[in-house]
């Protein structure tokens, strides 16, 4: 099953222009290599592909030796470097290539925005265009499934997530094995490779604790107490999981009211399958008690994918008062506010009076009937 990725045209167009280095971030197994291989195969440029895991290529990009790099790309029009974070000081080498061979098109993938951004960094400022590839979105799935079919598959998306290889498996056992491989061999490997983690087991334990708390406000103090780590270490570990595209944070929205929660954050996972694997629960929805939290995580992650794919400038929050009044998701775009309340079960929702009087912004109820309008 081939599903067209939304970023495909944008990346292809940039490569045709040939003016910028293309950087494609994303977690392992999201399809970065497959996407770029497909694009470069269709473009009329002779391409040299570099696997940055291999020592022979790492040796080419050491010592800022122009001759070695020229030998590598001689006769080629496009350089494709996969997993570029493996090459130290990659940015200065790419700058040399860009300056000396301006006609050479370059595309680089990386599974860590922190690591690759550090290595490309300042040398390529103004010379690169950055894209991020996440697990498959519902909008992308819509190229092969209509709305009715997507709704029929909703339970599977909530339980097993949307990693491409997971979706291609035909039974639950095979899907579990793929999630296990991603969760153990790739996810933690990326975190370890980023470095700066002294307590690997505690970092993994923290990830599991966060997986149990999706949709709830996260207490750094409680995590610190549970893990016996200081606050700064807990914050840094969460930041590393964000940069490795495992999870993301929503901050509290506040503009006017003194009793609005400002400093807290909620944690969501980019993929619900990874989240479910971490807590050891891949049961069907009728056998679990966290369907509402899963649905909320799924919709907010899908909305974040949509914003990323469309390169839409928007700020995302949750809203809550200390009195308990809350709205699950708030989006601010071009100065306009919109609120969304997410309910797994059918039912009514009363918009908090404090929100209506203060912000004069509408709040829409999202449920199993209308959720696709929000993310497609």
Phi-psi region of 63 (alpha: psi -120 to 50; beta: other; left: phi over 0): left
6-15, 56-65, 250-259: which is most confident = 6-15
| pLDDT cut 70: percent of the chain above it | 94
- Say what the pLDDT of residue 258 is: 76
Region 320-329: mean pLDDT is: 92
Average pLDDT over residues 323-349: 92
Taking the whole predicted model, whether its pTM rises above 0.85 is answered as: yes
- pLDDT (tens digit per residue) in 244-283: 889 999 999 988 777 777 778 999 999 999 999 999 999 9
Q: What is the pLDDT of residues 108-158, one digit of tens each?
A: 998 766 556 666 666 666 778 999 999 999 999 999 999 999 999 999 999
User: In which region does residue 314 sit, left (phi positive, over 0), alpha (psi from -120 to 50) or beta (all else)?
Assistant: beta
Residue 72's DSSP bridge partners are none
The model's confidence at residue 200, banded by pLDDT at 50, 70 and 90, is confident
CA distance 147 to 74: 49
Between CA 248 and CA 241 the distance in angstroms is 8
- For residue 375, is pLDDT > 80? yes
Could you tell me which residue, 128 or 77, shows the higher pLDDT? Answer: 77
pLDDT for 199: 82
Strand partners for 330: 317, 339
Q: What is the DSSP letter of 9?
A: H
Question: What domains are defined for the chain?
Answer: 8-132 (3.40.50.300), 138-375 (1.10.10.10)
pLDDT band at 70 (very low <50, low <70, confident <90, very high): very high
Bridging pattern class, strands 217-218 and 265-269: antiparallel
**Over residues 340-358, mean pLDDT:** 91
Q: How far apart are CA 93 and CA 356, in angstroms?
A: 54
* 325 contacts: CB under 8 Å, gap ≥ 6: 352, 354, 355
| Cα four-point dihedral sign 264, 191, 293, 337 | positive
Pick 195 or 96 by higher pLDDT: 96
- Segment 185-209 mean pLDDT: 78
* Calpha distance 179→156 (Å, rounded): 13
């Amino acid at each position: 099953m081939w599903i067209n990725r939304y970023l495909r045209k944008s990346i292809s167009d940039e490569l045709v222009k040939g003016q910028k280095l293309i950087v494609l971030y994303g977690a392992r197994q999201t399809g970065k290599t497959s996407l770029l291989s497909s694009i470069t195969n269709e473009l009329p440029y002779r391409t040299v592909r570099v696997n940055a895991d291999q020592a022979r290529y790492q040796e080419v990009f050491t010592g800022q030796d122009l001759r070695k790099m020229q030998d590598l790309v001689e006769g080629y029009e496009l350089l494709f470097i996969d997993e570029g974070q493996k090459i130290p000081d990659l940015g200065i080498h790419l700058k040399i290539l860009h300056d000396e061979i301006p006609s050479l098109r370059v595309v680089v993938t990386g599974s860590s925005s922190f690591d690759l951004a550090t290595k490309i960094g300042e040398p390529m400022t103004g010379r690169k265009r950055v894209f991020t590839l996440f697990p498959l979105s519902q909008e992308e799935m819509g190229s092969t499934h209509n709305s009715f079919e997507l709704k029929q598959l909703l339970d599977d998306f909530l339980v097993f997530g949307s990693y491409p290889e997971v979706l291609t498996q035909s039974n639950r056992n095979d899907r579990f094995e793929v999630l296990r491989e991603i969760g153990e061999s790739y996810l933690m490997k990326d975190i370890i490779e980023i470095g700066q983690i002294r307590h690997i087991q505690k970092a993994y334990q923290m990830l599991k604790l966060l997986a149990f708390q999706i949709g709830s406000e996260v207490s750094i103090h409680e995590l610190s107490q549970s893990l016996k780590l200081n606050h700064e270490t807990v914050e840094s570990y969460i930041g590393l999981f964000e940069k490795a595209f495992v999870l993301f944070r929503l901050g509290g929205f506040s503009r006017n009211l003194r009793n609005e929660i400002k400093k807290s954050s909620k944690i969501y996972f980019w993929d619900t399958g990874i989240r479910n694997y971490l807590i050891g629960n891949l049961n069907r929805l009728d056998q679990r008690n966290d369907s509402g939290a899963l649905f909320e995580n799924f919709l907010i992650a899908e909305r974040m994918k949509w914003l990323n794919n469309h390169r839409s400038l928007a700020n995302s929050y949750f809203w809550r008062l200390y009195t308990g009044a809350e709205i699950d998701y708030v989006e601010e775009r071009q100065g306009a506010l919109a609120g969304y309340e997410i309910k797994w079960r059918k039912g009514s929702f009363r918009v908090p009076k404090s929100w209506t009087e203060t912000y004069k912004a509408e709040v829409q109820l999202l449920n199993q009937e209308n959720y696709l309008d929000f993310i497609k």
